[in-house]
Amino acid sequence: MRLHRNLVFTVVDAIKLIFNEGEYADKVVQKALKRDARWGARDRKFVAETIYEMVRWKRLYNEIAGTKSHYSTENVWKNFAVFAILKGYKLPDWNQLQGVPERRIKGKFDELQKVRVFKESIPDWLDELAIKELGEKHWSKEITALNMQAEVILRTNTLRTNKASLRKKLADEGIATTFIDGYPDALKLVERANVFKTSCFKDGLFEVQDASSQLVAAFLDVKPGMKVIDTCAGAGGKTLHLAALMENKGNIIATDIYESKLKKLKIRTRRAGVHNVTTKVLDSTKVLKKMKGTADRVLIDAPCSGIGVLKRNPDSKWKLEPAFVENIIKTQAEILENYSKLVKVGGKLVYATCSILPSENEKQVKTFLKNNPNFTIIKDHKVSPFKTGYDGFYMALLTCNS
Ligand SMILES: C[S@@+](CC[C@H](N)C(=O)[O-])C[C@H]1O[C@@H](n2cnc3c(N)ncnc32)[C@H](O)[C@@H]1O
Protein backbone atom coordinates (compact mmCIF):
# COMPACT_ATOMS: atom_id res chain seq x y z
CA MET A 1 0.00 0.00 0.00
CA ARG A 2 1.34 3.43 -0.99
CA LEU A 3 0.93 6.72 0.84
CA HIS A 4 -0.01 9.83 -1.14
CA ARG A 5 1.55 13.10 -0.09
CA ASN A 6 -1.44 15.46 -0.30
CA LEU A 7 -3.69 12.98 1.55
CA VAL A 8 -1.23 12.50 4.41
CA PHE A 9 -0.61 16.26 4.74
CA THR A 10 -4.37 16.76 4.97
CA VAL A 11 -4.52 14.19 7.78
CA VAL A 12 -1.65 15.82 9.69
CA ASP A 13 -3.30 19.27 9.46
CA ALA A 14 -6.62 17.78 10.60
CA ILE A 15 -5.06 16.14 13.67
CA LYS A 16 -3.51 19.44 14.71
CA LEU A 17 -6.92 21.14 14.47
CA ILE A 18 -8.56 18.43 16.60
CA PHE A 19 -5.96 18.22 19.34
CA ASN A 20 -4.51 21.74 19.39
CA GLU A 21 -7.59 23.80 18.55
CA GLY A 22 -10.19 21.53 20.19
CA GLU A 23 -12.26 21.20 17.00
CA TYR A 24 -14.68 18.28 16.68
CA ALA A 25 -13.35 15.34 14.67
CA ASP A 26 -16.49 14.91 12.54
CA LYS A 27 -16.49 18.60 11.54
CA VAL A 28 -12.76 18.48 10.77
CA VAL A 29 -13.23 15.36 8.63
CA GLN A 30 -16.05 17.05 6.69
CA LYS A 31 -13.82 20.06 6.01
CA ALA A 32 -10.80 17.92 5.13
CA LEU A 33 -12.82 16.00 2.54
CA LYS A 34 -13.59 19.26 0.73
CA ARG A 35 -9.89 20.07 0.29
CA ASP A 36 -9.54 18.57 -3.18
CA ALA A 37 -12.48 18.03 -5.50
CA ARG A 38 -10.44 15.58 -7.62
CA TRP A 39 -10.19 12.99 -4.82
CA GLY A 40 -11.96 9.74 -5.58
CA ALA A 41 -13.79 7.42 -3.18
CA ARG A 42 -10.58 5.64 -2.14
CA ASP A 43 -8.78 8.93 -1.34
CA ARG A 44 -11.73 10.18 0.69
CA LYS A 45 -11.91 6.89 2.56
CA PHE A 46 -8.19 7.13 3.40
CA VAL A 47 -8.51 10.71 4.70
CA ALA A 48 -11.62 10.08 6.82
CA GLU A 49 -10.52 6.74 8.23
CA THR A 50 -6.94 7.82 8.97
CA ILE A 51 -8.08 10.92 10.87
CA TYR A 52 -10.52 8.83 12.94
CA GLU A 53 -7.91 6.12 13.56
CA MET A 54 -5.31 8.64 14.73
CA VAL A 55 -7.85 10.19 17.10
CA ARG A 56 -9.08 6.81 18.35
CA TRP A 57 -5.60 5.43 19.06
CA LYS A 58 -4.13 8.68 20.38
CA ARG A 59 -3.01 7.31 23.75
CA LEU A 60 -1.58 4.12 22.26
CA TYR A 61 0.29 6.00 19.51
CA ASN A 62 1.55 8.63 21.97
CA GLU A 63 2.95 5.91 24.17
CA ILE A 64 4.61 4.08 21.29
CA ALA A 65 6.02 7.24 19.69
CA GLY A 66 6.99 8.84 23.02
CA THR A 67 5.03 11.95 22.03
CA LYS A 68 2.85 12.11 25.18
CA SER A 69 0.15 14.69 24.61
CA HIS A 70 2.25 17.37 22.93
CA TYR A 71 0.94 18.05 19.45
CA SER A 72 3.69 19.85 17.54
CA THR A 73 3.85 19.13 13.80
CA GLU A 74 6.87 16.92 14.44
CA ASN A 75 4.97 14.83 16.99
CA VAL A 76 1.94 14.45 14.75
CA TRP A 77 4.27 13.04 12.08
CA LYS A 78 5.74 10.66 14.66
CA ASN A 79 2.24 9.43 15.51
CA PHE A 80 1.42 9.16 11.83
CA ALA A 81 4.52 6.99 11.36
CA VAL A 82 3.20 4.66 14.11
CA PHE A 83 -0.16 4.47 12.33
CA ALA A 84 1.50 3.75 8.97
CA ILE A 85 3.80 1.02 10.31
CA LEU A 86 1.05 -0.72 12.27
CA LYS A 87 -1.29 -0.65 9.26
CA GLY A 88 1.40 -2.09 6.99
CA TYR A 89 2.04 0.92 4.71
CA LYS A 90 5.39 1.13 2.94
CA LEU A 91 6.98 4.36 4.20
CA PRO A 92 7.85 6.79 1.39
CA ASP A 93 11.13 8.66 1.21
CA TRP A 94 9.80 11.93 2.68
CA ASN A 95 11.78 14.20 5.05
CA GLN A 96 9.10 13.89 7.72
CA LEU A 97 9.42 10.11 7.77
CA GLN A 98 13.19 9.72 7.91
CA GLY A 99 14.63 7.37 10.53
CA VAL A 100 11.31 5.87 11.65
CA PRO A 101 12.20 3.01 14.08
CA GLU A 102 10.00 0.35 12.51
CA ARG A 103 11.09 -2.58 14.68
CA ARG A 104 10.89 -0.60 17.90
CA ILE A 105 7.33 0.53 17.00
CA LYS A 106 6.18 -3.05 16.43
CA GLY A 107 7.90 -4.28 19.60
CA LYS A 108 6.36 -1.54 21.75
CA PHE A 109 2.93 -2.22 20.26
CA ASP A 110 3.16 -5.90 21.24
CA GLU A 111 4.33 -5.00 24.74
CA LEU A 112 1.44 -2.55 25.30
CA GLN A 113 -1.21 -5.12 24.38
CA LYS A 114 -0.95 -6.33 27.99
CA VAL A 115 -2.18 -3.04 29.47
CA ARG A 116 -5.85 -2.27 28.69
CA VAL A 117 -5.61 1.55 28.95
CA PHE A 118 -2.94 1.48 26.22
CA LYS A 119 -4.27 -1.46 24.25
CA GLU A 120 -7.72 0.15 24.03
CA SER A 121 -6.35 3.70 24.10
CA ILE A 122 -8.54 5.13 26.86
CA PRO A 123 -8.05 7.55 29.76
CA ASP A 124 -7.49 5.93 33.18
CA TRP A 125 -10.56 7.56 34.74
CA LEU A 126 -12.88 6.21 32.05
CA ASP A 127 -11.47 2.71 32.39
CA GLU A 128 -11.92 2.82 36.20
CA LEU A 129 -15.46 4.20 35.98
CA ALA A 130 -16.59 1.65 33.39
CA ILE A 131 -15.08 -1.24 35.35
CA LYS A 132 -16.93 -0.05 38.46
CA GLU A 133 -20.20 0.12 36.52
CA LEU A 134 -19.99 -2.91 34.22
CA GLY A 135 -17.31 -5.18 35.63
CA GLU A 136 -13.95 -5.71 33.95
CA LYS A 137 -14.92 -8.63 31.73
CA HIS A 138 -17.97 -6.92 30.23
CA TRP A 139 -16.23 -3.54 29.82
CA SER A 140 -13.24 -5.12 28.06
CA LYS A 141 -15.58 -6.54 25.41
CA GLU A 142 -17.53 -3.30 25.01
CA ILE A 143 -14.47 -1.06 24.66
CA THR A 144 -12.99 -3.36 22.03
CA ALA A 145 -16.23 -3.04 20.05
CA LEU A 146 -16.37 0.74 20.64
CA ASN A 147 -12.89 1.07 19.12
CA MET A 148 -13.98 -0.39 15.79
CA GLN A 149 -14.83 1.80 12.84
CA ALA A 150 -18.46 2.86 12.64
CA GLU A 151 -20.47 1.69 9.66
CA VAL A 152 -22.71 4.09 7.79
CA ILE A 153 -26.39 3.24 8.29
CA LEU A 154 -29.33 4.97 6.65
CA ARG A 155 -32.95 5.12 7.77
CA THR A 156 -35.43 5.03 4.91
CA ASN A 157 -37.89 7.90 5.07
CA THR A 158 -41.09 5.88 4.71
CA LEU A 159 -43.06 9.10 4.11
CA ARG A 160 -41.37 9.35 0.73
CA THR A 161 -40.28 5.85 -0.30
CA ASN A 162 -39.71 2.28 0.82
CA LYS A 163 -36.52 0.42 1.63
CA ALA A 164 -36.34 -1.69 -1.54
CA SER A 165 -36.97 1.25 -3.84
CA LEU A 166 -34.42 3.41 -1.99
CA ARG A 167 -31.86 0.65 -2.28
CA LYS A 168 -32.37 0.54 -6.04
CA LYS A 169 -32.18 4.32 -6.45
CA LEU A 170 -28.96 4.46 -4.40
CA ALA A 171 -27.49 1.67 -6.51
CA ASP A 172 -28.32 3.76 -9.62
CA GLU A 173 -26.25 6.55 -8.03
CA GLY A 174 -23.35 4.13 -7.46
CA ILE A 175 -23.98 3.38 -3.77
CA ALA A 176 -24.38 -0.26 -2.79
CA THR A 177 -26.32 -1.07 0.40
CA THR A 178 -27.64 -4.12 2.24
CA PHE A 179 -30.66 -4.70 4.49
CA ILE A 180 -30.08 -5.46 8.20
CA ASP A 181 -32.16 -8.11 9.97
CA GLY A 182 -34.24 -6.71 12.83
CA TYR A 183 -34.08 -3.08 11.63
CA PRO A 184 -37.11 -2.57 9.38
CA ASP A 185 -36.12 0.73 7.74
CA ALA A 186 -32.32 0.44 7.78
CA LEU A 187 -29.84 0.18 4.90
CA LYS A 188 -26.14 -0.39 5.51
CA LEU A 189 -23.55 1.05 3.13
CA VAL A 190 -21.27 -1.63 1.70
CA GLU A 191 -18.50 0.99 1.37
CA ARG A 192 -18.13 4.46 2.90
CA ALA A 193 -19.42 7.12 0.46
CA ASN A 194 -20.54 10.72 0.55
CA VAL A 195 -24.28 10.04 0.71
CA PHE A 196 -25.12 13.71 1.25
CA LYS A 197 -24.28 14.42 -2.39
CA THR A 198 -26.84 11.98 -3.76
CA SER A 199 -30.16 13.11 -5.18
CA CYS A 200 -31.78 10.51 -2.91
CA PHE A 201 -30.59 12.58 0.06
CA LYS A 202 -31.57 15.91 -1.50
CA ASP A 203 -35.03 14.48 -2.18
CA GLY A 204 -35.37 13.49 1.50
CA LEU A 205 -35.53 9.74 0.88
CA PHE A 206 -33.32 8.87 3.88
CA GLU A 207 -31.51 10.13 6.97
CA VAL A 208 -28.13 8.91 8.22
CA GLN A 209 -28.95 7.27 11.57
CA ASP A 210 -27.23 4.41 13.40
CA ALA A 211 -29.15 1.13 13.62
CA SER A 212 -29.45 1.27 17.43
CA SER A 213 -30.78 4.81 17.32
CA GLN A 214 -33.48 3.60 14.89
CA LEU A 215 -34.92 1.43 17.66
CA VAL A 216 -35.78 4.35 19.96
CA ALA A 217 -38.73 6.04 18.20
CA ALA A 218 -40.26 2.62 17.46
CA PHE A 219 -40.00 1.74 21.17
CA LEU A 220 -42.39 4.60 22.02
CA ASP A 221 -45.30 2.77 20.36
CA VAL A 222 -46.70 5.84 18.59
CA LYS A 223 -49.80 5.79 16.39
CA PRO A 224 -50.99 8.21 13.68
CA GLY A 225 -53.04 11.06 15.22
CA MET A 226 -51.40 11.05 18.65
CA LYS A 227 -49.99 14.03 20.52
CA VAL A 228 -46.29 13.33 21.07
CA ILE A 229 -43.71 15.51 22.83
CA ASP A 230 -40.07 14.91 21.88
CA THR A 231 -38.51 16.76 24.81
CA CYS A 232 -34.79 16.64 23.95
CA ALA A 233 -35.25 16.80 20.21
CA GLY A 234 -31.93 18.40 19.23
CA ALA A 235 -31.60 18.49 15.45
CA GLY A 236 -34.46 16.01 15.22
CA GLY A 237 -33.02 12.60 14.28
CA LYS A 238 -35.72 10.83 16.28
CA THR A 239 -38.41 13.47 15.66
CA LEU A 240 -38.26 12.70 11.93
CA HIS A 241 -38.54 8.99 12.63
CA LEU A 242 -41.55 9.57 14.93
CA ALA A 243 -43.23 11.61 12.18
CA ALA A 244 -42.70 8.78 9.69
CA LEU A 245 -44.08 6.17 12.12
CA MET A 246 -47.10 8.45 12.67
CA GLU A 247 -47.58 8.75 8.87
CA ASN A 248 -47.42 12.55 9.22
CA LYS A 249 -50.69 12.52 11.20
CA GLY A 250 -51.24 13.94 14.68
CA ASN A 251 -49.00 16.42 16.41
CA ILE A 252 -45.36 16.24 17.45
CA ILE A 253 -43.97 19.01 19.64
CA ALA A 254 -40.18 19.05 19.47
CA THR A 255 -38.48 20.89 22.32
CA ASP A 256 -34.86 21.58 23.28
CA ILE A 257 -32.98 24.18 25.27
CA TYR A 258 -31.07 25.24 22.13
CA GLU A 259 -32.90 27.19 19.45
CA SER A 260 -30.03 26.60 17.00
CA LYS A 261 -30.65 22.85 17.08
CA LEU A 262 -34.39 23.27 16.55
CA LYS A 263 -33.66 25.46 13.51
CA LYS A 264 -31.69 22.58 11.99
CA LEU A 265 -34.60 20.29 12.82
CA LYS A 266 -36.96 22.57 10.87
CA ILE A 267 -34.72 22.42 7.79
CA ARG A 268 -34.64 18.63 8.04
CA THR A 269 -38.44 18.39 8.33
CA ARG A 270 -38.82 20.31 5.07
CA ARG A 271 -36.44 17.99 3.21
CA ALA A 272 -38.16 14.92 4.68
CA GLY A 273 -41.69 16.15 3.83
CA VAL A 274 -42.71 16.13 7.51
CA HIS A 275 -45.74 18.34 8.25
CA ASN A 276 -46.78 17.44 11.79
CA VAL A 277 -43.96 18.95 13.87
CA THR A 278 -43.94 22.23 15.77
CA THR A 279 -40.85 23.34 17.70
CA LYS A 280 -40.67 25.07 21.09
CA VAL A 281 -37.52 26.37 22.76
CA LEU A 282 -37.48 25.53 26.47
CA ASP A 283 -36.58 29.05 27.58
CA SER A 284 -38.94 29.29 30.56
CA THR A 285 -40.73 26.89 32.89
CA LYS A 286 -44.05 28.15 31.46
CA VAL A 287 -43.52 26.22 28.20
CA LEU A 288 -43.66 22.90 30.02
CA LYS A 289 -46.35 23.91 32.53
CA LYS A 290 -48.83 24.57 29.71
CA MET A 291 -48.34 21.04 28.33
CA LYS A 292 -48.57 19.20 31.67
CA GLY A 293 -50.58 15.96 31.49
CA THR A 294 -51.45 16.43 27.81
CA ALA A 295 -49.25 14.02 25.85
CA ASP A 296 -50.15 10.52 24.65
CA ARG A 297 -46.43 9.87 24.27
CA VAL A 298 -43.28 11.55 25.57
CA LEU A 299 -39.77 10.87 24.33
CA ILE A 300 -36.85 11.80 26.59
CA ASP A 301 -33.73 11.22 24.48
CA ALA A 302 -31.64 12.50 27.35
CA PRO A 303 -28.27 14.26 27.16
CA CYS A 304 -25.64 11.73 28.24
CA SER A 305 -21.96 10.83 28.40
CA GLY A 306 -22.14 9.40 24.89
CA ILE A 307 -20.04 6.41 25.93
CA GLY A 308 -22.19 4.20 23.70
CA VAL A 309 -21.22 6.15 20.60
CA LEU A 310 -17.43 6.36 21.01
CA LYS A 311 -17.14 4.43 17.76
CA ARG A 312 -18.68 7.38 15.95
CA ASN A 313 -17.10 10.11 18.11
CA PRO A 314 -13.67 8.79 19.14
CA ASP A 315 -12.57 12.29 20.20
CA SER A 316 -15.06 12.11 23.09
CA LYS A 317 -12.54 9.81 24.83
CA TRP A 318 -10.25 12.81 25.17
CA LYS A 319 -12.89 15.52 25.60
CA LEU A 320 -15.11 13.85 28.23
CA GLU A 321 -14.29 14.56 31.87
CA PRO A 322 -15.39 12.79 35.07
CA ALA A 323 -17.13 15.95 36.34
CA PHE A 324 -19.19 16.13 33.14
CA VAL A 325 -20.42 12.56 33.62
CA GLU A 326 -21.29 13.27 37.28
CA ASN A 327 -23.26 16.41 36.32
CA ILE A 328 -25.05 14.85 33.39
CA ILE A 329 -26.35 12.09 35.68
CA LYS A 330 -27.93 14.78 37.89
CA THR A 331 -29.38 16.54 34.83
CA GLN A 332 -30.88 13.26 33.55
CA ALA A 333 -32.63 12.67 36.88
CA GLU A 334 -34.11 16.21 36.83
CA ILE A 335 -35.19 15.90 33.21
CA LEU A 336 -36.90 12.56 33.82
CA GLU A 337 -38.67 13.91 36.90
CA ASN A 338 -39.83 17.14 35.19
CA TYR A 339 -40.69 15.92 31.70
CA SER A 340 -42.54 12.81 32.89
CA LYS A 341 -45.24 15.23 34.07
CA LEU A 342 -46.14 15.90 30.43
CA VAL A 343 -47.57 12.38 30.00
CA LYS A 344 -51.34 12.07 30.41
CA VAL A 345 -52.88 9.25 32.45
CA GLY A 346 -52.74 6.11 30.32
CA GLY A 347 -49.96 7.62 28.21
CA LYS A 348 -46.42 6.32 27.70
CA LEU A 349 -42.90 7.64 28.02
CA VAL A 350 -39.54 6.48 26.68
CA TYR A 351 -36.36 7.39 28.54
CA ALA A 352 -33.32 6.77 26.31
CA THR A 353 -29.59 7.46 26.26
CA CYS A 354 -26.65 6.59 24.03
CA SER A 355 -24.68 5.41 27.04
CA ILE A 356 -23.95 1.90 28.31
CA LEU A 357 -23.43 2.94 31.95
CA PRO A 358 -26.12 1.63 34.35
CA SER A 359 -25.91 4.90 36.37
CA GLU A 360 -27.25 6.78 33.32
CA ASN A 361 -29.74 4.08 32.41
CA GLU A 362 -31.49 1.43 34.52
CA LYS A 363 -30.43 3.09 37.79
CA GLN A 364 -32.04 6.37 36.71
CA VAL A 365 -35.26 4.54 35.85
CA LYS A 366 -35.22 2.61 39.13
CA THR A 367 -34.88 5.78 41.20
CA PHE A 368 -37.57 7.50 39.15
CA LEU A 369 -40.03 4.64 39.66
CA LYS A 370 -39.35 4.62 43.40
CA ASN A 371 -40.15 8.35 43.60
CA ASN A 372 -43.10 8.18 41.19
CA PRO A 373 -45.31 5.18 42.04
CA ASN A 374 -47.90 6.38 39.49
CA PHE A 375 -45.53 5.14 36.76
CA THR A 376 -44.69 1.52 35.94
CA ILE A 377 -42.19 0.05 33.54
CA ILE A 378 -43.48 -1.91 30.55
CA LYS A 379 -40.08 -3.00 29.19
CA ASP A 380 -36.52 -1.86 28.71
CA HIS A 381 -33.82 -2.70 26.19
CA LYS A 382 -30.04 -2.37 26.36
CA VAL A 383 -28.12 -2.34 23.10
CA SER A 384 -24.59 -3.61 23.52
CA PRO A 385 -22.01 -2.45 20.93
CA PHE A 386 -20.17 -5.72 21.52
CA LYS A 387 -23.21 -7.90 20.84
CA THR A 388 -24.68 -5.91 17.94
CA GLY A 389 -21.74 -4.11 16.31
CA TYR A 390 -23.78 -0.88 16.44
CA ASP A 391 -23.93 2.02 18.90
CA GLY A 392 -24.61 1.42 22.58
CA PHE A 393 -28.09 2.57 23.63
CA TYR A 394 -30.58 2.16 26.45
CA MET A 395 -34.32 2.66 26.27
CA ALA A 396 -37.09 2.14 28.83
CA LEU A 397 -40.82 2.30 28.12
CA LEU A 398 -42.89 3.51 31.09
CA THR A 399 -46.60 4.16 31.49
CA CYS A 400 -48.46 6.66 33.64
CA ASN A 401 -51.23 4.92 35.61
CA SER A 402 -52.75 7.80 37.60
C1 LIG B 1 -29.05 12.95 22.88
S2 LIG B 1 -29.26 14.55 22.36
C3 LIG B 1 -30.72 14.46 21.40
C4 LIG B 1 -30.57 13.89 20.05
C5 LIG B 1 -31.86 13.98 19.25
N6 LIG B 1 -33.02 13.50 19.96
C7 LIG B 1 -31.73 13.23 17.93
O8 LIG B 1 -32.28 12.12 17.83
O9 LIG B 1 -31.08 13.74 17.02
C10 LIG B 1 -29.85 15.36 23.79
C11 LIG B 1 -30.43 16.74 23.55
O12 LIG B 1 -30.90 17.22 24.81
C13 LIG B 1 -30.78 18.62 24.81
N14 LIG B 1 -30.87 19.05 26.21
C15 LIG B 1 -29.91 19.18 27.13
N16 LIG B 1 -30.42 19.58 28.31
C17 LIG B 1 -31.76 19.68 28.12
C18 LIG B 1 -32.84 20.06 28.95
N19 LIG B 1 -32.68 20.39 30.20
N20 LIG B 1 -34.08 20.05 28.41
C21 LIG B 1 -34.28 19.71 27.11
N22 LIG B 1 -33.29 19.36 26.29
C23 LIG B 1 -32.05 19.34 26.78
C24 LIG B 1 -29.46 18.86 24.10
O25 LIG B 1 -29.41 20.15 23.57
C26 LIG B 1 -29.47 17.76 23.04
O27 LIG B 1 -29.97 18.28 21.83
Indicate whether 136 belongs to any domain: no
CA distance 198 to 156: 14
What is the structure's pLDDT at 201?
A: 98
Domain holding 380, by residue range, is 214-400
123, 360 contact by CB (below 8 A): no
Q: How confident is the model over 54-107, as pLDDT tens digits?
A: 999 999 999 999 998 668 999 999 999 999 999 999 999 999 999 999 999 999
pLDDT at 68: 80
Does residue 126 lie in a domain region? Answer: no
Residues in the ligand 1 pocket, defined by CB under 6 Å: 231-238, 256-258, 261, 282, 301, 303, 335
Buried b / exposed e over 197-226, threshold 16 CB at 10 Å, is ebebbeebbbbebbbbbbbbbbbbebeeeb
Residue 256 labeled ligand binder: yes
CB atoms within 10 A of CB 54: 23
* Spacing, Cα 232 to ligand 1 middle (Å): 4
Within this chain, do residues 341 and 314 fall inside the same structural domain, yes or no?
Answer: yes
Using alpha carbons, select from 54, 55, 53, 9 the residue that is nearest to residue 32: 9
From 208, 232, 255, the end of a domain falls on 208
Cα–Cα distance between 46 and 226 in angstroms, integer?
46
Q: Are residues 317 and 269 located together in one domain of the fold? A: yes
Counting from 1 in the atom list of ligand 1, the atom nearest the Cα of 304 is 1
Q: What is the CATH number of the domain that holds 224?
A: 3.40.50.150
pTM: 0.95
Work out how many domains the chain is built from and give that number: 3
Tell me: is residue 221 an annotated ligand-binding position: no
- Mean pLDDT, all residues of the chain: 96
User: What residues does 9 pair with on adjacent strands?
Assistant: none
Residue 222 confidence (pLDDT) above 90:
yes
Q: Binding site annotation covers 36?
A: no
- Rounded to the nearest angstrom, the distance between the alpha carbon of 59 and the centre of ligand 1 is 30
Atom 11 in ligand 1: which residue has the minimum CA distance? 232
Question: What is the whole-number distance in angstroms between the Cα of residue 391 and the centre of ligand 1?
Answer: 17
How far, in Å, CA of 42 to CA of 192, rounded? 9
Residues 193 and 242 in one domain: no
How much is the pLDDT for 192? 83
- What is the distance in A from the centroid of ligand 1 to the CA of 230? 9
pLDDT over 80 (residue 190): yes
**Judgement on whether residues 220 and 197 belong to the same structural domain of the protein:** no
**Residue-wise pLDDT tens digits, 347-379:** 999 999 999 999 999 999 999 999 999 999 999
Q: How many CA atoms lie within 13 A of 304 on its CB side?
A: 25
* CA-233 nearest atom, ligand 1: 6
Helices and strands, number each (H, E), in the chain: 19, 11
Residues 395 and 271 reside in one and the same domain: yes
What is the Cα–Cα distance from 125 to 147, expressed in whole angstroms? Answer: 17
Give the tens place of pLDDT for each residue, 109-130. Answer: 999 999 999 999 999 999 999 9
**pLDDT surpassing 80 at residue 1:** no
Residue 70's pLDDT is 65
323 with 226, same domain: the answer is yes
Same-domain status, 219 and 204: no
